[in-house]
């Protein structure tokens, strides 16, 4: 069966179906060598491998699986999600223009702001979940990149990918989607017109909170993509073979984990939504969520594992709830098999984040245990 005909569960479980010919192993080997030999006529023994900054078999295997899962043509792995984002934005010429969704992952916003200032690039920040605002920003002047993140972290806003792609293309820009909170299992941005998809594979794609990495996937290759690939090989932001191997190993259970996390998250969201100590739940799976209808259209099979909720009262009340949780680890990040809770105001007090907001990432534990933990922490 051709890889493109396989369903995500099959692709992931077999990690691309690679058998190690030398050993017969059904999992890929790790080749730690940084350099690769040539024969006496000075021909490489393996034409694919010269030096580890450009060539790393297991990273290429992981990239092939990621490209297939996302439905793109090529994928490039980086040593972190931020390194992937930086490689993309470095293709914008000095004096260029980018349109970036506001209220997204704070690390992204902060890095792009600093970068654009240094390079005299005009950066327009816009609440892209209100598509009219994005269309207006795109129409103002030509741009090179339109950047959206859906669902957004930590506000869980949903952006209309199809409409965003149309607006981006009209202004001459590529639409790039940070799809970390959706994973390739829940959303297919390429089918809706996106040009490049980015994931922090540190999160659900690896899923075990033990590999830092990021990926860019291209719908089609082209000059910008070639520039990114060249930049990665020359500037050296590559993923090492051990991390790439762990990532590939983590991905084998991606669809299983995401399905379990989504079903747990939906139960937790319904519980929180009904709780007298909770002011509001931000989760696109709830019919009351502003982006629910759109999420139903562009997130097939689940609404994700990430949600935020506002505890009745203020900062102290939210911190007390976080402090009383026993199962949820108080830690940043998301998408791992273990549930996490984070008081975002402590991390980004300057971004207008409510002081009583707790963001939770739901893992694969038993949903009833998670709900019981939240119930005792909220005081029931």
Ligand X SMILES: *Cc1c(COP(=O)(O)O)cnc(C)c1O
User: What residues line the site for ligand X (CB under 6 A)?
Assistant: 80-82, 105, 107-108, 149, 153, 178, 180-181, 200, 202-203, 212, 214, 334
Q: How far is the CB of 260 from ligand X (least distance, A)?
A: 20
Q: How far is the CB of 85 from ligand X (least distance, A)?
A: 7
The 3-state DSSP class for residue 332 equals: coil
Report whether 309 contacts 357 (CB < 8 A).
yes
Exposure class string for 217-231: b at 16+ Cβ within 10 A, else e: bbbeeeebbeebbeb
Question: Smaller CB distance to ligand X: residue 203 or 344?
Answer: 203
Phi, psi of 278 (to 5 degrees): -110, 125
Q: How far is the CB of 153 from ligand X (least distance, A)?
A: 4
Question: Smaller CB distance to ligand X: residue 76 or 377?
Answer: 76
Report whether 337 contacts 363 (CB < 8 A).
yes
- Asked about 53 being catalytic, the answer comes back as yes
Q: How far is the CB of 200 from ligand X (least distance, A)?
A: 3
Spot the catalytic one: 178, 188, 232, 252: 178
Q: Which residues pair with 74 in a beta bridge?
A: 218
- Asked about 283 being catalytic, the answer comes back as no
Q: Pinpoint the alpha helices (H) of the chain.
A: 8-13, 57-70, 81-89, 106-118, 131-140, 161-170, 183-186, 223-235, 241-251, 254-273, 292-298, 315-324, 344-347, 367-378
Question: Smaller CB distance to ligand X: residue 71 or 107?
Answer: 107
- Asked about 252 being catalytic, the answer comes back as no
What does 41-83 look like in DSSP terms, one character per residue?
Answer: TS-BSSTT-SBTTT--HHHHHHHHHHHHHHT-SEEEEESSHHH
Question: Smaller CB distance to ligand X: residue 29 or 107?
Answer: 107
Q: How far is the CB of 187 from ligand X (least distance, A)?
A: 13
Report whether 282 contacts 308 (CB < 8 A).
yes
Contacts of 25 (CB under 8 A, 6+ apart): 19
Spot the catalytic one: 53, 119, 312, 320: 53
Q: What's the half-sphere exposure (Cβ side, CA atoms, 13 Å) at 208?
A: 13
- Asked about 274 being catalytic, the answer comes back as no
Question: Smaller CB distance to ligand X: residue 271 or 303?
Answer: 303
Report whether 246 contacts 211 (CB < 8 A).
yes
The 3-state DSSP class for residue 146 equals: strand
Q: How far is the CB of 147 from ligand X (least distance, A)?
A: 10
Residue number with the smallest Cβ distance to ligand X: 81
Q: How far is the CB of 206 from ligand X (least distance, A)?
A: 9
Spot the catalytic one: 97, 105, 195, 345: 105
Question: Smaller CB distance to ligand X: residue 214 or 354?
Answer: 214
Question: Smaller CB distance to ligand X: residue 275 or 291?
Answer: 291
Tell me, letter by letter, the H, E, C secondary structure of 156-209. CCCCCHHHHHHHHHHCCCEEEEECCCCHHHHCCHHHHCCCEEEECCCCCCCCCC
The pair of three-digit structure tokens given for residue 236, joined into one six-digit string: 């050296």
d(CA 199, CA 184): 9
User: Active-site residue numbers?
Assistant: 53, 105, 178, 203
């Amino acid at each position: 069966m051709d890889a493109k005909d396989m369903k995500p569960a099959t692709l992931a479980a077999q990690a691309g179906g690679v058998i190690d010919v030398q050993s017969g192993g059904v999992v890929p080997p790790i080749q730690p060598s940084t350099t690769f030999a040539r024969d006496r006529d000075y021909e490489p023994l393996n034409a694919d491998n010269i030096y580890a900054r450009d060539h790393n078999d297991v990273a290429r295997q992981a990239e092939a699986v990621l490209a297939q899962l996302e439905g793109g043509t090529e994928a490039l792995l980086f040593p972190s999600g931020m390194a992937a984002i930086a490689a993309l934005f470095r293709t914008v010429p000095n004096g260029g223009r980018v349109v970036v969704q506001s209220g997204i992952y704070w690390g992204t916003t902060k890095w792009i702001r600093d970068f654009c200032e240094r390079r005299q690039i005009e950066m327009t920040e816009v609440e892209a979940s209100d598509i009219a605002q994005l269309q207006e920003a795109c129409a103002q002047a030509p741009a090179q990149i339109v950047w959206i993140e859906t669902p957004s972290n930590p506000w869980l806003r949903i952006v209309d990918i199809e409409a965003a792609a149309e607006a981006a293309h009209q202004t001459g820009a590529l639409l790039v989607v940070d799809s970390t909170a959706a994973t390739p299992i829940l959303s297919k941005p390429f089918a809706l017109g996106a040009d490049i998809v980015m994931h922090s594979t540190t999160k659900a794609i690896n899923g075990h909170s033990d590999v830092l990495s990021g990926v860019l996937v291209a719908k089609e290759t082209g000059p910008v993509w070639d520039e990114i690939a060249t930049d990665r090989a020359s500037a050296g932001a590559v993923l090492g073979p051990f991390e790439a191997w762990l990532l590939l190993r983590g991905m084998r259970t991606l669809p299983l984990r995401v399905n379990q996390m989504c079903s747990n998250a939906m139960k937790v969201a319904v519980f929180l939504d009904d709780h007298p100590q909770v002011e509001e739940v931000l989760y696109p799976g709830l019919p009351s969520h502003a982006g629910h209808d759109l999420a139903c259209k562009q997130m097939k099979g689940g609404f994700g594992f990430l949600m935020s909720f506002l505890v009745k009262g203020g900062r102290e009340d939210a911190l007390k709830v976080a402090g009383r949780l026993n199962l949820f680890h108080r830690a940043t990040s998301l998408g791992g098999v273990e549930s996490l809770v984070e008081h975002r105001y402590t991390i980004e007090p300057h971004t207008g984040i409510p002081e009583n907001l707790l963001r939770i990432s739901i893992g694969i534990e038993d949903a009833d245990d998670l709900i019981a933990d939240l119930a005792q922490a909220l005081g029931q």
